[in-house]
Structure 1
Amino acid sequence: MQTHNLGYPRIGSKRELKKACESYWSGKINLHELQTVGESIRLQNWKTQQEEGIDLIPSNDFSFYDQVLDMSLMLGAIPDRFHEVILQKGNNEMDLYFAMARGYQQNGLDITAMEMTKWFDTNYHYIVPEFRKDQQFKLFSTKVILEYKEAKQAGFSTKPVLIGPVSYLLLGKEKEEGFDRIDLIKNILPVYLELLKKLDAAHVEWIQFDEPFLAMDLGEKEKRALQFAYAEIKKAFPSLKIILANYFDCFGENLETALSLPVHTLHLDLVRCSSQLDDILESGKLGGQKHLSLGLVDGRNIWKNDYQKSNETIQKAVSAIGKDRLFIAPSCSLIHSPIDLDLETDEKSLSSEIKNWLSFAKQKLREVADLKELTNEKLKKNQEAIQSRNSSPLIHKPAVKKRVQTISDSHDHRLSPFSVRQVKQKEALKLPLFPTTTIGSFPQTAEVRSWRSKFKKGSLSQKAYEDFLKEETKKAISWQENIGLDVLVHGEFERNDMVEYFGEQLEGFVFTKTGWVQSYGSRCVKPPIIYGDVSRQKSMTVDWTAFGQSLTSKFVKGMLTGPVTILQWSFVRNDQPRSETCLQIALAIRDEVTDLEKAGIRIIQIDEPAIREGLPLRKSEWQQYLNWAVRAFRISSSGVKNETQIHTHMCYSEFNDIIQHIADMDADVITIECSRSQMELLDAFREFNYPNEIGPGVYDIHSPRVPSKQEMVDLLEKAMKLIPETQLWVNPDCGLKTRGWDETKKALTEMVSAAQEMREVITSPIA
């Protein structure tokens, strides 16, 4: 048996990549300094994997922003609007790359960024490729070749990792009508073959093609495209050893297609789908040559591997096909895991008892190596840790379990239907047409982060810290009033992260100091760990929200994170159904919602940006998930009066196929990301005739560019063609935490002006 890894975190153990990219964007460091940081991270990653016992180490799993964007640049799939960037004096390939991800607004150019959406059912976001009917591809970047040679020169023989041609096309979007992007397979394959030719010339022996769409529902056309592509690759490079990686679910209905492909090794995610090894062995179609990669170590969660269970699976495979045809691996790339548990040295933050149950990326490498050669001593130590967790009194709280069991139908319905609530809310709130608001957070400046850091380190008193936060909140409220926003927010200056902040105040959660995971680009999150039953001991947001409301006669929204998003964006216990944990969280949020209402807060936003992210990859399994996910949201939001307006927020998701379930959530107002797609996402709401109110985002907060008033007016006019003006709100795409104050003030001022212009158009005598 051999070991291999599908990919390793690229942010650096101290988030070196984040800091370097942001310094490059701000002009503090040059291209050479940025590239030096990248080289250092890659070298350390290869060294770590070798030292931890990985036989086949990946290369080209590093990215300065996103691996899908890397492929777009390599394949020359660069939208026409970006061609001017590379012609600008002083710009380079990296500036083009970042412009595609973030937009470009300088030197007389104003270019919108490419779309961004979720990577399957994870909280990682990728940059969506754009395709046209006559799309041509050409080899533009040779990053994969350069990094393979770089590794080789450093003494590491690696397997380059590429997104497979079929999955790459399916990850993209048609930007004009009249064609199916999968039909571009014949256009794109020659560039893949050109890349492989260069890799072959560099003496590459192994290559990993990621085809995660094999875990999705594929039609016959997509299956034929897979067979065509890999037959052509095999014909051109008969001796190349290809590992075809599928992850996040079974092959399912695609199993026969996968088994027919002329590849050396099939990778199986046996964490998400433990049954597929039996399916393959029982099919009798594996043949006598094809190898299997057993993805036994969970790349998506942080719990220790159960060596006994994994070893049983390994022995079953050994008995069927022998050791020589097996690889041991993580279930998927480890970019979804924190980097190194050894860095967690604060006993107050993470107790030694709970730490003993955990495994981060570096430790998962060791688990893979242990499973290759499992000794009695390793097995005994592992089973002691597994048993310690199973029997720990920290995990189970009878009162919490009892409360979940007593949830009734009345808990998940508002007092009256929306048509009744809307009338009462309009009377109570008296908001204008096109009411303006933001999604919640305002910029977390270096000063805000510095004060929080000092407070957490104990070098700043609680009173001094709270006085500072109050001043920031006062300034934010005053500024919002001055520019004319209709519904205000307190700014969330006291919060570190929209999930972490709540987890810190709930029972059943624990936190790390260094457990960062990449969400998109330079944005990293530190997911909480849900280790036990969840409950709320006291109010979490009431004091700060009420303080904000005391400063103004306008309405200030209560800002909460919803139960599904808290679940999805945490590392979740795996000893009970996720639905059970979600209901526990929903009850905690319900308590907070009712406390906010008692404190006089009349508008409460419960963000659920992750609700679509949680969908199983196969549609046949959607209904069960949506039933409990929608129910959890309704339980959290339904304990209030008709006059209290409930908002929710979703971003970077396609809604067409779950629009009925979004309606079933029964939020009074939903705000959604729409600006990057130029309001395309609203089509789903029009065709469905969505009954409640909608705030389609008119300002892309993931790009540093500032949109003009006219740009936002144009977007709102598009929205009015799809949604009645009486249902429309005006807001950014998402929270403003990661933006700077200068661009935020300019953009929101333009947004308020756009809303005012729309009101004049609607109410003018000519109209």
Structure 2
Amino acid sequence: MQTHTLGYPRIGSKRELKKACENYWVGKITQQALKNQGYEIRKENWLLQQQAGIDLIPSNDFSFYDQVLDMALTVNAIPDRYHETILKTGNTETDLYFAMARGYQKSGLDITAMEMTKWFDTNYHFIVPEFVKDQSFSLFSTKIIDEFKEAKALGIITKPVIIGPITFLLSGKEKEDGFNRISLIDNLLPVYLELLEQLEEQGAEWIQFDEPYLALDISDEVKAAYGKVYTTIKTKFPKLKTILATYFEGIEENVETATNLPVCALHLDLVKAPNQLQTVLRHIPESMSISLGLVDGRNIWKNDFKASLEQIELAKNAIGKDRVLIATSCSLLHSPCDLALETDDEALPSQIKNWLAFAKQKVEEVATLKYLTEENLNEDQKAILEANLQAIEERRTSPVIHNQAVKARAKAVTEKDAERDSPFAERQILQHNNLKLPLYPTTTIGSFPQTKEVRSWRAQFKKGQISSSKYDELLKRETKKAIRWQEEVGLDVLVHGEFERNDMVEYFGEQLAGFVFTKFGWVQSYGSRCVKPPIIFGDVSRPHAMTAAWTEFAQSLTNKLVKGMLTGPVTILQWSFVRNDQPRSETCKQIALAIRNEVQDLEKAGIKIIQIDEPAIREGLPLKKAAWGNYLNWAIGAFRLSASVVSNTTQIHTHMCYSEFNDIIEDIAQMDADVITIECSRSQMELLGAFGDFKYPNEIGPGVYDIHSPRVPKKDEMLELLEKAKAVIPEKQLWVNPDCGLKTRGWEETQAALKAMTAAAETMRATATSPVA
């Protein structure tokens, strides 16, 4: 019996990678210093897992930005706009890599970044590969080989983690019509074979191919491609041991395809789909081992050893212990690094801390499970098992988890509570008369740049170095500056800037009952962007108002409209570590009721436009279509419950980003938000087609520039996108806004971009054919 992990967090326990990347991007450190930091993180991760007793330690789970982008660079799936142009200007492969992720705007070049979207149903964003018909591939980057050699020099023969060729192709997009990207497999496979040949020459024994698409609804063509790819690999490399890793779902529907593949081991996510084990055991051939994904890679709750050991015993009895591997359910990329760093008992009480495990502890759990599989346990093993059982039972029965008043309120919710007073067509007339906005009204998504100065105030306040009154005074000064600047640039609907907020979910969680927080529980969202998800441990309620005072203050500074800014219940749920002792739908309903209270307070304070952000609605969609209906019913119901308490004249906005809407557009319409803003610029308004084809009835703000890139777009670029939007959406329904919030951008680029955006809106109004709103 062997142990392994599918991957380890790459940001560093104190976000060392984030700091190094951002310093490199602004020229504060050299490229070599950046690479040195990357090596130190990899080395620490390898040694940590070796010391914990992991048998198969992963390599190539590290990335300076994104693992899918790494694979695109490896196989030379580099769009023409980057490939030679950037290298010819004296840049390195590293600069080419970051240009693909972030865009490039110097040396006379102005190149947009590649599209970005969510990695399956997680909050991790990946760079979307671009494919054209008859595309050729070649081995361009040697990163996978180089990192294997680094670990080998430390005396560790790692298990390279490689995104499988099918999943790589399916994760991308066709950039021209007339072909299916899976048809490129014959061109791509030889590059994988070349890569494997070099790894085998270096002494690689095990290779992990990540193929999560095998757990999804796939076509017969894709199933055939799986057979072809892995049969070819086995024929070419008969001695190489391969693990095919599925995760985030069960493979029941594809079990025959998976178990007929000539791979050495098949990995199953037994956290997300525990019942699939028995199905797979009935089909697995004698030549195949099974990897049991028992330790949760996506949540922070301590492993239930008793339940995991039962699964191990089931597999051992069916196929023998020598064919069983114990593992994490997926990569630990989605987990914080180390629970031992959390020493603040006030923020994270020791009682709740005893129920948790972060990445380092999860590695130890994997090794401990193997330790506990012996037939006759010694006293040490018995003590470990008893302590675990006690922690699991203590959490289950703890009174801090349950609030009967909250449960009763959620139980009393009716369908009427989730309905507006009148349909949108009637509300729209009332809102237009009340708000008196022009055609193509301009706004932003909510946040403005959080400068080092603003972040330093927050840090000083948390450390007790400045008083609450002083902190409020500084934030009010910053808010006033933001309001004045928005007035000067000519925005129509203003925001207060959110300078008091650390994160769009964490800020609300800090004020809601049922949440606790960490100091170092950072998780990568994309690139250098890290988030610190709250932990929902119990029933959720709102003890006090959360945002109304700041929004009311901002509104008092201007005669223009100021939006109230809230995070929606589904997004708070999705972007938190959620309790796993009750259905997620029930927790979401509790959060929705808390947000509903906040919406009421904002309306009472005279706020006429309220935005309830729900970027995670699509992200939470189950990976298999059979489960969509149930999820969409409760998720959209939760949004409507939070929003439907207002009068007809109050305009409800929502925001979504980096999601595909085509297949759920009717459900998006059921949210019944008066205005929806979406990410559209990276895809050149491709996403808007779904709204046009469906004849989306409500108002919509397609993002006209990408805020995740430091490049500043020109007015003409935004005009081109608005003209594309106007071609599919009636102009009286169109708003003008950036793709997302501006928190991570600098003021100089933000001001330049928003000036260009408002100028583009003015030009659109000047040529409008619709009557003025």
The TM-score normalised by the length of structure 2 is 0.98
Offset at residue 90 of structure 1 (A): 3.8
Task: Say which SS state the counterpart of residue 268 (structure 2) adopts.
Answer: strand
d(CA) in 1 for partners of 2:399 and 2:501?
30
Q: Deviations over 1:706-752 (max 9, x none)?
A: 00000000000000000000000000000000000000000000000
d(CA) in 2 for partners of 1:286 and 1:410?
50
Paired position in structure 1 for 2:291: 293
Paired position in structure 2 for 1:575: 581
d(CA) in 2 for partners of 1:250 and 1:365?
23
- 2:304 pairs, out of 296, 303, 306, with 306
Matched pairs, number:
763
Task: Say which SS state the counterpart of residue 670 (structure 2) adopts.
Answer: helix
- 1:424 pairs, out of 427, 430, 435, with 430
Paired position in structure 2 for 1:323: 321
d(CA) in 2 for partners of 1:37 and 1:717?
45
Paired position in structure 1 for 2:65: 65
Task: Say which SS state the counterpart of residue 768 (structure 2) adopts.
Answer: helix
Q: Is the 8 A contact 1:85 1:96 kept in 2?
A: no
Q: Which amino acid aligns with 1:433?
A: L
Q: Which amino acid aligns with 2:434?
A: A
Paired position in structure 2 for 1:138: 138
Q: Is the 8 A contact 1:3 1:327 kept in 2?
A: yes
1:351 lines up with 2:349 in the alignment: yes
C-alpha distance 317-227 of structure 1, shift in aligned 2 (>3 A): same
Q: Deviations over 1:97-131 (max 9, x none)?
A: 00000000001000000000000000000000000
Paired position in structure 2 for 1:505: 511
- 1:697 pairs, out of 703, 714, 718, with 703
Q: Which amino acid aligns with 2:306?
A: Q
Q: Which amino acid aligns with 1:552?
A: T
- 2:637 pairs, out of 631, 634, 658, with 631
1:335 lines up with 2:330 in the alignment: no
Q: Which amino acid aligns with 1:694?
A: I
Offset at residue 252 of structure 1 (A): 2.3
Paired position in structure 1 for 2:37: 37
Offset at residue 388 of structure 1 (A): 1.1
- 1:466 pairs, out of 464, 472, 479, with 472
Paired position in structure 1 for 2:375: none
Paired position in structure 2 for 1:594: 600
Task: Say which SS state the counterpart of residue 68 (structure 1) adopts.
Answer: helix
Q: Deviations over 1:133-159 (max 9, x none)?
A: 021101000100000000000111101
Paired position in structure 2 for 1:168: 168
Paired position in structure 1 for 2:651: 645
Q: Is the 8 A contact 1:269 1:296 kept in 2?
A: yes
d(CA) in 2 for partners of 1:317 and 1:230?
24
C-alpha distance 716-148 of structure 1, shift in aligned 2 (>3 A): same
- 1:679 pairs, out of 685, 700, 725, with 685
Q: Deviations over 1:172-214 (max 9, x none)?
A: 0000000000000000000000101111111111100000001
d(CA) in 2 for partners of 1:441 and 1:475?
14
d(CA) in 2 for partners of 1:340 and 1:210?
25
Task: Say which SS state the counterpart of residue 557 (structure 1) adopts.
Answer: strand
Paired position in structure 1 for 2:212: 212
Offset at residue 82 of structure 1 (A): 0.4
Offset at residue 289 of structure 1 (A): 1.9
Q: Deviations over 1:426-446 (max 9, x none)?
A: 000000000000000000000
Paired position in structure 1 for 2:532: 526
Over aligned residues, Cα RMSD in angstroms? 0.9
Offset at residue 215 of structure 1 (A): 1.2
Q: Is the 8 A contact 1:86 1:93 kept in 2?
A: no
Q: Deviations over 1:473-531 (max 9, x none)?
A: 00000000001000000000000000000000000000000000000000000000000
Paired position in structure 2 for 1:406: 412
Q: Deviations over 1:279-324 (max 9, x none)?
A: 0123xx3121210000000101000010011111111111111110
Offset at residue 53 of structure 1 (A): 1.5
Paired position in structure 1 for 2:222: 222
d(CA) in 2 for partners of 1:172 and 1:196?
22
d(CA) in 2 for partners of 1:460 and 1:50?
44
d(CA) in 2 for partners of 1:154 and 1:465?
49
Paired position in structure 2 for 1:185: 185
d(CA) in 1 for partners of 2:137 and 2:324?
36
Identity across aligned pairs (percent)? 70
1:722 lines up with 2:720 in the alignment: no
Q: Which amino acid aligns with 1:358?
A: L
Offset at residue 764 of structure 1 (A): 10
C-alpha distance 494-7 of structure 1, shift in aligned 2 (>3 A): same
Paired position in structure 2 for 1:256: 256
1:424-463 matched pairs, under 5 angstroms? 424-463=430-469
d(CA) in 1 for partners of 2:326 and 2:547?
46
> Moved runs in structure 1, 4+ residues, more than 3 A?
none
Offset at residue 84 of structure 1 (A): 4.1
Paired position in structure 2 for 1:753: 759
- 2:623 pairs, out of 614, 617, 628, with 617
d(CA) in 2 for partners of 1:762 and 1:287?
67
Offset at residue 88 of structure 1 (A): 4.3
- 1:477 pairs, out of 467, 477, 483, with 483
Paired position in structure 2 for 1:514: 520
d(CA) in 2 for partners of 1:353 and 1:49?
27
Q: Deviations over 1:513-551 (max 9, x none)?
A: 000000000000000000000000111000000000000
d(CA) in 2 for partners of 1:279 and 1:55?
27
Paired position in structure 2 for 1:55: 55
d(CA) in 1 for partners of 2:596 and 2:89?
55
Q: Is the 8 A contact 2:252 2:279 kept in 1?
A: no
Offset at residue 325 of structure 1 (A): 0.5
Paired position in structure 1 for 2:377: none
Offset at residue 349 of structure 1 (A): 0.8
Task: Say which SS state the counterpart of residue 225 (structure 1) adopts.
Answer: helix
d(CA) in 1 for partners of 2:53 and 2:628?
39
Task: Say which SS state the counterpart of residue 261 (structure 1) adopts.
Answer: coil
d(CA) in 2 for partners of 1:478 and 1:255?
61
Q: Deviations over 1:29-76 (max 9, x none)?
A: 011000000000000000111111211100000000000000000000
Paired position in structure 2 for 1:659: 665
Offset at residue 85 of structure 1 (A): 4.3
Offset at residue 753 of structure 1 (A): 0.1
d(CA) in 1 for partners of 2:83 and 2:308?
50
Paired position in structure 2 for 1:11: 11
Q: Is the 8 A contact 2:513 2:543 kept in 1?
A: yes
Q: Is the 8 A contact 1:85 1:91 kept in 2?
A: no
* 5+ residue gaps, structure 1: none
Task: Say which SS state the counterpart of residue 133 (structure 1) adopts.
Answer: coil
Paired position in structure 1 for 2:275: 275
Offset at residue 621 of structure 1 (A): 0.5
Q: Which amino acid aligns with 1:403?
A: R
Q: Is the 8 A contact 1:17 1:37 kept in 2?
A: yes
Task: Say which SS state the counterpart of residue 209 (structure 1) adopts.
Answer: strand
Offset at residue 83 of structure 1 (A): 2.2
Offset at residue 89 of structure 1 (A): 4.0
Q: Deviations over 1:392-448 (max 9, x none)?
A: 110000000000011012110000000000000000000000000000000000000
1:80-99 matched pairs, under 5 angstroms? 80-99=80-99
d(CA) in 2 for partners of 1:617 and 1:280?
19
d(CA) in 2 for partners of 1:647 and 1:749?
23
Task: Say which SS state the counterpart of residue 539 (structure 2) adopts.
Answer: strand
* 5+ residue gaps, structure 2: 373-380
d(CA) in 2 for partners of 1:748 and 1:287?
60
Q: Which amino acid aligns with 2:55?
A: D
Q: Is the 8 A contact 1:270 1:295 kept in 2?
A: yes
Q: Is the 8 A contact 2:209 2:245 kept in 1?
A: yes
